[in-house]
Amino acid sequence: MNTKEYIEQGEKYFLHTYNRYPIVFERGEGVYLYDTDGKEYLDFGAGIAVFALGYGNREYNAALEGQISKLIHTSNLFYSPSAVTAAKEICELAGMDRVFFTNSGTEAIEGAIKAARKYAYTRDGHADHEIIAMQHSFHGRSYGALSVTGNDHYREPFGQGVSNIRFAEYNDIDSVKALVTDNTCAVILETVQGEGGIYPAEESFLKELRSLCDERDILLILDEIQCGMGRTGYMFAFEKYGIKPDILTLAKALGCGIPVGAFLMTEKCALKSLVPGDHGSTYGGNPLACAAIVEVLRQFKERDIVGHVKEMAPYLAGKLEGLKEKYPFVKDVRGEGFMRAIELDFPVGEIVTGAQQEGLVLLTAGSNILRLVPPLIIEKEHIDRMVDILDKIFVSH
């Protein structure tokens, strides 16, 4: 089929939950994608912050092929070598004690919510505890994850959702304190807000929040589904702040394309939360998904991916500041590492479309924000090309 036929067939059969761009990607290599017409695109979206190691990674592909030839699935009624190895390595890397592997980020959030409420139930003997989430947050679209997503537009059509959720202002510790009661069991937030506009947590806010949770025996849940796995120049974004969560959620770059997520917790939390029968997943943590995790972690270490992000991030930030200085309609540039926002004073839809025409993939984070979450292997030449394309588009606005 040609491009037009693929799009027409997709529109006929897909449930219309996405407004897809009229592009059919067929293959990828490094930091580039190629459509069915052979056109090349520099990818600054990475499949929404997933393909940290780029496309066509031969060692990654070989690791998956090797696992496929052995065993793809058995269920969690049994152990598998890759799952045991992945569990040990991710826990030790994050400084956590226990992990449950899921199929996605939103499932990791669901598990984190259940774990927090079970912890409080074990402690207090009742099940009506409250969770404090943040305004303008995004944690996923399943019922529980949606319930702690601080955007009325996403929640309103689906009713109340999970009960006893209260919303504070991100980076405002007083707004959190005003909501805390003896019934509060957890506070959940993204260490760097993603869909909400690429806003990093302020150090004083996160440290005070950690202290508050310690004082009141409240669990701190950090969602690093998008900002974790090296994207900010730290393996996990919370490392910059010198604190640690009680529960951590991961996904996206954890599997670099294989659908896999995880929620991790401290031993203190694990001892009072989920036990056999409380939670499960048929596919979660199957041998194939965990082989992907093991290979991703191996490459992160051997190639010093986090060090590369640290090295390149100032160059990217400087180039974006240059755009801000040159164009008055660029209101702000912000972010951490390879998770950056360019905020304009008008909707960015035409910019995204224009970038695609010039062979550049960009994402959005709200109507007027361009989101840059490229593969973590980009070099200066790729940053230069991205900025040149944006410069060419901006000059006509």
Would you kindly state where each structural domain of the chain is located, as residue ranges? 3-57+304-394, 71-302
pLDDT number for residue 209: 98
Distance set, CA 198 to CA 28, 238, 298, 360, 371 (Å): 26, 15, 28, 20, 8
Distance set, CA 131 to CA 77, 115, 180, 247 (Å): 32, 12, 9, 13
Provide the token pair at 387.
């900025």
Q: What is the largest CA-CA distance in the chain?
A: 63
Tell me the three state secondary structure of residue 130: strand
pLDDT number for residue 160: 80
- Do the first three CATH levels of 3-57+304-394 and 71-302 match, i.e. the same topology? no
Residues in the chain, how many?
397
pLDDT number for residue 153: 86
* CATH code for the part of the protein at 71-302: 3.40.640.10
Is the pTM value of this prediction over 0.95?
yes
Please state whether beta strands 247-250 and 261-265 pair in parallel, antiparallel, or not at all (unpaired): antiparallel
* Terminal-to-terminal C-alpha distance of the chain: 37
Instruction: Tabulate helix, strand, coil % of the chain (nearest 5).
Output: 40, 20, 40
Please state whether beta strands 32-35 and 25-29 pair in parallel, antiparallel, or not at all (unpaired): antiparallel
Question: Cα-flanking dihedrals φ and ψ of residue 173, to 5°?
Answer: -65, -30
In the CATH hierarchy, which fold is given to the domain comprising 3-57+304-394? Aspartate Aminotransferase, domain 1 (3.90.1150)
216 CB burial (10 A radius; 0-12, 13-18, 19+): middle
- Beta pairing partners, 134: 168
CA pair distance 252, 353, nearest whole angstrom: 25
CA pair distance 158, 155, nearest whole angstrom: 6
pLDDT number for residue 178: 98
Distance set, CA 359 to CA 29, 235, 281 (Å): 14, 30, 40
Per-residue tens of pLDDT for the chain, all 397 residues: 999 999 999 999 999 999 999 999 999 999 999 999 999 999 999 999 999 999 999 999 999 999 999 999 999 999 999 999 999 999 999 999 999 999 999 999 999 999 999 999 999 999 999 999 999 999 999 999 999 999 988 888 988 889 999 999 999 999 999 999 999 999 999 999 999 999 999 999 999 999 999 999 999 999 999 999 999 999 999 999 999 999 999 999 999 999 999 999 999 999 999 999 999 999 999 999 999 999 999 999 999 999 999 999 999 999 999 999 999 999 999 999 999 999 999 999 999 999 999 999 999 998 999 999 999 999 999 999 999 999 999 998 8
How many CB atoms within 10 Å of residue 335?
27
* CB distance 101 to 289 below 8 Å: yes
pLDDT number for residue 161: 85
